[in-house]
Each structure stands twice: as structure tokens, then as C-alpha cells.
Amino acid sequence: LNLYHSNKLSIKRISSSKMFKIKRKILTIKWLICICLLVNKVDSTISPGDKSQKQPKPLKLKTGPRDESVFDLDLIDIEPSAKEILINNGAYYKDTSARRFNGTVLGFVTPWNSHGYEIATTFAKKFDIISPVWFQIVKQDGKYKVNGVHDIDARWMKDVRTKGRTEQRTMQFFPRFLFENFNDNDFTLLLSSDEETKKVSDLLRKTCIQHKFEGIVLEYWLQLGGRVANKFLQKLAISISKNLAKDNLKLILVIPPYRPQLVNMFNDYHMDKLYKHVYAFSLMTYDYSTIQRPGANSPLYWIKQSIKHIAPDNTNDVVEKRKKILMGLNMYGNDYTPDGGGPIVAGQYLDLLRNVKKRLTYDENDVENFFETRTSTGRHYVFYPTLYSLNERIKLAQEMGVGISIWELGQGLDYFYDLF
């Protein structure tokens, strides 16, 4: 009996012990479940996917042709909002043949920016001259050669000509040429020898005839100005222009803007010597500021100063001279950062603009807009054209009787072309 009771009590103790362990496990499991639920609840409270948290609505971006122009929509604001730019920049007035500016408009196109080709085609009737940046004049084994012929797009040229044709205007192509990898001896020989100058002139004329160009844009003055006597630089332009004229081809000469430290690089004296020989002058009124000296891309007062520097109000034939000046208009901007920064085009600008929640700042001295923002990469100080800043420059061109050269097509926002 005692043995029976003893066994019975042992069984009870064992059973009680097991039950206690089971209950403890159940409590532990319940406790863990509670913790998990609590964590999930906290996590869901701060989760970016929580529907109870208000998320900014995605902007309804407008693109392609539309019924109203930027003027109709009153978008030319002295201090535009970032949101307004983001929404409207990709749309443009459907009548792309409508022109507001009656002076000569030249647009540069580069092979590394395919959107420039599209802009030239879409807005062909707004341009008089397209200048593809395709060619370099090089010297190999004592002979002159044109590099870049592989970039020629004849089909695109034909398309642009067709779309740009009107009763009053015919689209013209003046590709840009520059001298590449020329050393001082090469330039000395070219500038001092009539025979060498003729070789280059003949090469340029042959290239134009072969590929059906109406003329050329030639850039060398900035390379050599201040290093070479004026008479040699002038003689080169006149010689090439006369040679091209044999086949009714024309020369546009790229010239530097006014710089206080380089006032004699190109001034009214040079203009007076050249304007009767040169079809037009592409004035590089951009890149006013640098990463060493951040600021406006092209202050309005400086553009006006640059025009008057080469064609003063009291000069002879002032109307004719100014008509031949193509005022440089930049379609790119600059992003200045603590590390330096550099030039930016439309896509980069819009990416930075998405961080801005207010209106852009207006600098009344330079007549340009800018903004400051901070991203994961640091602080940015951004200058880039706006409808307002561009329109003020177009009005200046109209007022002074000069044309416009755009550097470059495809770098700006599509709705900019409503202004031209």
C-alpha cells in the first residue's frame, strides 16, 4: 500500500512538473507573439508604405504639342515656381511654324546630344541656320584633312530642310570647323603663307560642295587672339571667305565676348575690317562665370556690353554690323558645389529642381534665376535659363537689331522654343 501511494504521489509530482513546464512554454509563446505584434504595429506606424501617412501626389507632367503657348498660359514669370517648371517644361505650342523673333537664328547641334537633332527637326521653321558640330581640320604628314565626316547625317539634313522650308526662308546648313592638334609651327605656316591658306580654303570649299552645305562656321579667334598679330587673323578670315564665295558659300566667324582683361582680343576695329567680308559673327556671350568664380551664366548687361564693344552706337554702318552679329544664347546651366561642380543640361537640372519646394530666386542685376538646394551629394547652387531670362535676352536682341546663335539645341527645355 505504501509502495502504491508512493508511486501514485511520484506520478502526480511528475505530472505536475510536466504541466508546469507546458504552461510556462505556452506563456513564453504568448509573450513572443505579443512582442511580434507590437513590433509590427510600431513598424507599420513609421513605414513609408502606410496609407495613413499623406504622400505627395505625383505631378501630372505635360509633354508634346498643346493648344496654348507659354504666353497664353502666362508662364513667363520673373520668379517661377519649381513645380510649375517641372509640370510644363516638356510641352510646347502645337504650331511650331509660328515665329516671334524676326532676326537670324542659328542653332548648334552636337553629335553627342541626340535630342538636339530632334529639336532641329521639330522646330525647323524657327531656325534659319543649323550648325552641326561635326568637323575638325587636322594636319597629317604635311597635308590638311577634315575629320568627322563619319558624323554626317544626310537623311536628317534632308528632313530638316523639308520641314524648315517656307515661302520666305530656306533652311541652311553651316557646319562648324575648328583647328585641332595644331602646334605653333602649324599655325605660323598657315597664317604666313598664302599657299597654305589656299590649301585650307580649298579643302573647306570642297567639303561644302560635296555634302551640300551653304557655308561654314569657323572657330579660331579664341585659340589665337592675343598670341598672334591682328592682321594675320583678319587675313585668314578674309582669304577663306573670298575662296568660299567663288561657289556662293558663306563664312560665319566665331568671336569672343567682351572681357575687361582682354578688351583688344576682338573689338570695333576688327569688326570694321571684317564685316564686309564675313556673312555673320557668332558672338560667344556665355560662360561668364566659372567654378572658380560662381555666378550667372550670361548677365544681360554683359551681353549688351559685348555687342556695343564691337558695334558701338556711333559707329559707321551700325545697323548693318549689328544685323551680322549672332548673340550667343546658352541653353545649358551651371551647378556649383563645394567640390566645384560644372555645366548641366535639362535632365540634370530637372533632377535638382525636384528638391526645390519654392519659387526660384531672381537676380535683377544679371537678369537670371537661380536656386540653392541640398541633396545626398551635398549643397548645390544652380543657375539655368528660365522662360523669363531667355525672353529678356530675345527682347534685347530685337531691340539692338542682332540675331541669335543658340548653344546648343537639345540642352534646354522644350517649351523654351515657344519664345522664338
Could you read off the pLDDT of 370-394 as tens digits, one per residue? Answer: 999 999 999 999 999 999 999 999 9
Q: Which pLDDT band, with edges at 50, 70 and 90, does 12 fall under? A: very low
On the question of pLDDT at 97 being above 70, the answer is yes
Measured between alpha carbons, how far is 85 from 354 in angstroms, rounded to an integer? Answer: 10
Q: Which pLDDT band, with edges at 50, 70 and 90, does 87 fall under? A: very high
On the question of pLDDT at 20 being above 70, the answer is no
Lowest mean pLDDT among 20-24, 138-142, 363-367: 20-24
**Listed residue (270, 157, 135) closest to 206, CA to CA:** 135
> What pLDDT does residue 323 have?
99
The neighbouring-strand residues paired with 250 are: 215
> What pLDDT does residue 340 have?
95
- More reliable by pLDDT, 180 or 50: 180
On the question of pLDDT at 3 being above 50, the answer is no
On the question of pLDDT at 206 being above 70, the answer is yes
Q: Which pTM value belongs to this model?
A: 0.87
On the question of pLDDT at 412 being above 60, the answer is yes
* Percent of the chain with pLDDT strictly greater than 70: 87
Does the domain at 101-332+390-419 match CATH 3.20.20.80? Answer given as: yes
Measured between alpha carbons, how far is 253 from 129 in angstroms, rounded to an integer? Answer: 14
Q: If you write DSSP's letter for every residue of 256-301 in order, what string do you get?
A: ----GGGTTSS-HHHHHHHTTT-SEEEE-----S-SSS---SS-HH
> What pLDDT does residue 55 have?
64
On the question of pLDDT at 5 being above 90, the answer is no
Q: Which pLDDT band, with edges at 50, 70 and 90, does 54 fall under? A: low
Lowest mean pLDDT among 24-38, 58-72, 173-187: 24-38
- More reliable by pLDDT, 261 or 138: 138
On the question of pLDDT at 311 being above 60, the answer is yes
What average pLDDT is seen over the chain? 90
Segment 141-152 shows an average pLDDT of: 98
On the question of pLDDT at 207 being above 60, the answer is yes
Contact 217, 177 (CB under 8 A): yes
Measured between alpha carbons, how far is 179 from 138 in angstroms, rounded to an integer? Answer: 6
Could you read off the pLDDT of 352-362 as tens digits, one per residue? Answer: 999 999 999 99
> What pLDDT does residue 167 have?
85
**Listed residue (306, 309, 310, 312) closest to 278, CA to CA:** 310
On the question of pLDDT at 396 being above 80, the answer is yes
Q: Is the peptide bond before 195 cis (omega within 30 degrees of 0)?
A: no
Could you read off the pLDDT of 243-295 as tens digits, one per residue? Answer: 999 999 999 999 999 999 999 999 999 999 999 999 999 999 999 999 999 99
What are the percentages of helix, strand and coil residues in the chain, rounded to 5?
45, 20, 35
> What pLDDT does residue 57 have?
81
- More reliable by pLDDT, 338 or 53: 338
On the question of pLDDT at 219 being above 80, the answer is yes
On the question of pLDDT at 52 being above 60, the answer is no
* Percent of the chain with pLDDT strictly greater than 90: 85
On the question of pLDDT at 8 being above 50, the answer is no
